[in-house]
Chain A
């Protein structure tokens, strides 16, 4: 992919406006040091270290409140300075990865919990609040914000909205798009607006007006900056119950997944299938915890949460389904340990191996495709065929960590799944040529997803190199991308918000 030509946007020089930024947010909240900026070039997606410098923002600004954000946006709009909002920086589609440097608007200073309403079951937060920390506070009143991604311990509310994130608890409790009642957004021109279900701050449903709230889910920082959100909170579950079953074949596990999905059980957190390659991969160092019997080729996990009565019933029904499908229970210790480590364990950089079997450190990446049930086997087998090609050819650069298949949609366990292949990439060894091969791999994966009737991304976003061409030419070619361009140009006439993201510079 060739570099985007931003010259027609006549951006100003950020360096000329440092003092004005300091006047808005305070000198101590403006950082110009190279290292402060360099560490904010990357999100969690694979990073092109070979051209790190190209993506280092010109300045880092940490605003403290909505007015400061608005003033920064007004300044940026006036002088045509690119602005890239940054939450936790752990998004996996490079939303926070500057394509044209500019101002990194680091939102993490805005991290107050503004109001806990245990009668209407909402909590009002600033965008820099992390879910795990939020739940420590909510636990005191028996409430729980059920957004539970792999980045649960780090991600912040603003980023969850910006990426339209996915939660492992979504099948039971919904995803972020279902868990926000309303929010305050600063538009690219500095205007502060409130979007919600109608005009209500705390209602979960309204037919008053267009559904403007949903527009900002997945915008990847291209339409504005979220500065406050009212979140919908569930009761903290009385009990939870994780269980893992081993299967002797992909087919058997796949059938179990389907039967569980249509069983009608409601108190579900998620059903997850681990395919053959994932189990093989986990055997590298999961043996460090609990060895899996040789006969186990795939695993299906079922976790339930809710009132004890409901979970006991779910637990019983799930067991009968698993047994009927040929599943073998892997034990309490396995379930207890693996469920609790679901966020942490997969991020170790030392999981990877080269052909000689040497440990090589790489960065974990997951391709978060959405796939319909009927195509899962062809899809996951196709994914491995693609990835293995590159792993074979480029020794020590890529690794195949197998597939997870998670129930995907909100409040339902059937139909479509987050079918992710986990690919590791050795960024330290990146060269321009290897990076192009990485993009080739991504393109092939994206094309396969679209070809089989799925989507390139269920939760990270599809704005990255490798995905974006397939997105525009295929997945959203039926008019959706045109609509995106029109909306972008209307909201951001000077293209200052995250310029180049989603190739929306094509709107101008």
Chain B
């Protein structure tokens, strides 16, 4: 599966003291021309900040203003960081939703934001808080340059081969920050009788790197594809929906059609449940609700499998709302993670809103399908004291299977 909607002319960088290209100007005009801003009230950042500067209308019109000589690039250093890259605005924009298929021309706000962050950085114009993000990038690159064992240390004791027709790609965030997620995934798959391998040395293709140094990111993506192919992969399972969205939306732009099928872990586990390969031996006995990860729901339109898994979990009482009602929410991390680092107060408020919303339906547990959400909500829950437990769906599946994680 590849979801491709992108514009080649975004590759041409925007520069100080140089005209904005005609194509980019027209592209931004497409959003300005509407000006009805249906994107706005559902933008999680706007919901907190109430500042239209940072909505899809804001980022497109700022760039248009730049093209028309009514904005200054150095002043715009913080213009593009107030975006979670959740994808709500671009999917909801009438240009996309009602015309994108007919005209093969859609609104691509996430790409624009990533592009502008990249282009500004290339000229030494960084947003406030960028240093922390650069630190994360440097840490990841240091790991990438480091020994193989560091990158697979999360899998210690699991005896996973380094090749196979089915490969689980474990990204840097999971490998170092939320190890319990890939560990749970691995144990579930093993218990279900799935033979799979992991890469000896995955390369870093995080969101932070993508919007800072595209060349390095592309080089890493190409290496990942080559290594997975060399390992014999016919199916690659992702355990981070951010990475999953890159594999199906960004990787093919640079690497061509991938030589293997890409599946998100919840789809894979759901198929195992439906094929009776997973046996539940313990009930969970909690009131639960579910938070759709932005990268899975809004960026990839993938929302069914987690709901089916939740329905299959024994003992749970679930109140899960429709995926469209989740378009307005986010955990606050942001798909690239830069948002959380640069705007921790806003990130916190966004997370609080989601936790309170979960409370409103009487849930004790907020089920998640994303390691970033898990980490962010854990922090938000602790800081706010809101009485709800953020739990990754794989941990519950493992629990119900009687697996110790």
Q: Do chains A and B make direct contact within the complex (CB under 8 angstroms)? A: yes
- A binding-site residues for B, Cβ under 8 Å: 31, 33-36, 38-40, 42-44, 47, 49, 52-53, 56, 62, 88-90, 106, 108-109, 111, 128, 130, 132-133, 150-151, 153-154, 285, 288, 341, 343-345, 347-351, 359, 361-364, 427-428
A350 & B68 in contact (Cβ 8 Å cutoff): no
B94 & A347 in contact (Cβ 8 Å cutoff): yes
Query: Bound state CA distance, A36 and B75, in angstroms?
Result: 10
Query: Bound state CA distance, A218 and B30, in angstroms?
Result: 29
Cβ contacts under 8 Å, A349 to chain B: 29-31, 33-34, 95
Query: Bound state CA distance, A89 and B79, in angstroms?
Result: 19
State how many angstroms separate the Cβ of A339 from the closest Cβ of chain B.
14
Q: Is B72's CB within 8 Å of the partner chain A?
A: yes
Q: Could you tell me the dominant secondary structure of chain B's interface residues?
A: helix
Cβ contacts under 8 Å, B38 to chain A: 153-154, 343-344, 347
State how many angstroms separate the Cβ of B9 from the closest Cβ of chain A.
15
A35 & B76 in contact (Cβ 8 Å cutoff): yes
Query: Bound state CA distance, A288 and B66, in angstroms?
Result: 35
Q: Is B50's CB within 8 Å of the partner chain A?
A: yes
A132 & B30 in contact (Cβ 8 Å cutoff): no
A348 & B70 in contact (Cβ 8 Å cutoff): no
Query: Bound state CA distance, A89 and B66, in angstroms?
Result: 20
B29 & A350 in contact (Cβ 8 Å cutoff): no
- Picked from A40, A109, A344, A362, the residue with its CB within 8 Å of the CB of B98 is A344
User: Within B30-64, which residues are at the interface with A (CB < 8 Å)?
Assistant: 30-38, 40-41, 50-53, 57-58, 61-62
Query: Bound state CA distance, A109 and B48, in angstroms?
Result: 9
Query: Contacts A130-B41, A347-B94, A361-B26 hold; do A39 and B53 have CB atoms under 8 A apart?
Result: yes
Query: Bound state CA distance, A111 and B30, in angstroms?
Result: 28
Query: Bound state CA distance, A238 and B32, in angstroms?
Result: 38
Query: Contacts A108-B50, A345-B98 hold; do A38 and B33 have CB atoms under 8 A apart?
Result: no
B35 & A350 in contact (Cβ 8 Å cutoff): no
Query: Bound state CA distance, A154 and B101, in angstroms?
Result: 24
Cβ contacts under 8 Å, A428 to chain B: 25-26, 29, 33
Can you list 22 residue pairs at the A/B interface with Cβ under 8 Å?
A34-B65, A35-B61, A38-B71, A40-B52, A52-B70, A53-B69, A56-B70, A90-B36, A108-B50, A130-B41, A285-B99, A347-B36, A348-B94, A348-B95, A349-B31, A349-B33, A349-B95, A359-B103, A361-B29, A361-B30, A363-B33, A428-B29
B75 to A, closest residue via Cβ: A33
Query: Bound state CA distance, A52 and B66, in angstroms?
Result: 12
A89 & B26 in contact (Cβ 8 Å cutoff): no
Query: Bound state CA distance, A88 and B46, in angstroms?
Result: 12
Cβ contacts under 8 Å, B51 to chain A: 62, 106, 108-109
B41 & A154 in contact (Cβ 8 Å cutoff): yes
Query: Bound state CA distance, A111 and B48, in angstroms?
Result: 10
Q: Is B105's CB within 8 Å of the partner chain A?
A: yes
Query: Bound state CA distance, A36 and B53, in angstroms?
Result: 6
A35 & B41 in contact (Cβ 8 Å cutoff): no
A35 & B50 in contact (Cβ 8 Å cutoff): no
Identify 10 new A-B residue pairs, CB closer than 8 A, beyond the known A89-B35, A154-B36: A33-B79, A34-B70, A34-B72, A47-B35, A52-B68, A108-B52, A343-B38, A345-B98, A364-B34, A427-B32
Query: Contacts A285-B102, A344-B94 hold; do A38 and B62 have CB atoms under 8 A apart?
Result: yes
Q: How many A-B contacts at CB < 8 Å in the complex?
A: 134
B41 & A62 in contact (Cβ 8 Å cutoff): no
Cβ contacts under 8 Å, B99 to chain A: 285, 288, 348, 350-351
B79 to A, closest residue via Cβ: A35
B75 & A39 in contact (Cβ 8 Å cutoff): no
Q: Is B97's CB within 8 Å of the partner chain A?
A: yes
Cβ contacts under 8 Å, B58 to chain A: 39
1/0 per residue, CB under 8 A from A, across B356-372: the answer is 00000000000000000
A359 to B, closest residue via Cβ: B103
Cβ contacts under 8 Å, B103 to chain A: 285, 350, 359
A341 to B, closest residue via Cβ: B98
Query: Contacts A363-B34, A428-B29 hold; do A106 and B75 have CB atoms under 8 A apart?
Result: no
B53 & A31 in contact (Cβ 8 Å cutoff): yes
Query: Bound state CA distance, A111 and B53, in angstroms?
Result: 17
Query: Bound state CA distance, A440 and B62, in angstroms?
Result: 30
State how many angstroms separate the Cβ of A125 from the closest Cβ of chain B.
14
Cβ contacts under 8 Å, A151 to chain B: 36
A109 & B66 in contact (Cβ 8 Å cutoff): no
The 3 residue pairs across chains A and B that have the minimum distance between CB atoms: A349-B33, A35-B71, A288-B102
Query: Bound state CA distance, A39 and B54, in angstroms?
Result: 10
Query: Bound state CA distance, A43 and B57, in angstroms?
Result: 12
Query: Contacts A345-B98, A428-B25, A428-B26 hold; do A90 and B53 have CB atoms under 8 A apart?
Result: no
B57 to A, closest residue via Cβ: A39
Query: Contacts A39-B65, A348-B98, A350-B103 hold; do A154 and B37 have CB atoms under 8 A apart?
Result: yes
Cβ contacts under 8 Å, A35 to chain B: 53, 61-62, 65-66, 70-72, 75-76, 79
- Picked from A52, A128, A343, the residue with its CB within 8 Å of the CB of B65 is A52
Query: Bound state CA distance, A462 and B2, in angstroms?
Result: 50
State how many angstroms separate the Cβ of B61 from the closest Cβ of chain A.
4
Cβ contacts under 8 Å, B72 to chain A: 34-35
Cβ contacts under 8 Å, A128 to chain B: 50
A348 & B35 in contact (Cβ 8 Å cutoff): no
B34 & A347 in contact (Cβ 8 Å cutoff): yes
State how many angstroms separate the Cβ of A292 from the closest Cβ of chain B.
16
Cβ contacts under 8 Å, A363 to chain B: 32-35
Cβ contacts under 8 Å, A34 to chain B: 65, 70-72, 75
State how many angstroms separate the Cβ of B75 from the closest Cβ of chain A.
5
Query: Contacts A90-B37, A150-B36 hold; do A350 and B105 have CB atoms under 8 A apart?
Result: yes
Cβ contacts under 8 Å, A132 to chain B: 41
A88 to B, closest residue via Cβ: B37
Query: Bound state CA distance, A427 and B40, in angstroms?
Result: 22
Cβ contacts under 8 Å, B69 to chain A: 53
Query: Bound state CA distance, A40 and B61, in angstroms?
Result: 9
State how many angstroms separate the Cβ of A430 from the closest Cβ of chain B.
11
Query: Bound state CA distance, A343 and B98, in angstroms?
Result: 11
A140 to B, closest residue via Cβ: B360
Query: Contacts A39-B53, A359-B103 hold; do A345 and B94 have CB atoms under 8 A apart?
Result: yes
Query: Contacts A34-B65, A34-B70, A39-B53 hold; do A350 and B37 have CB atoms under 8 A apart?
Result: no
Query: Bound state CA distance, A151 and B35, in angstroms?
Result: 10
Cβ contacts under 8 Å, B76 to chain A: 33, 35
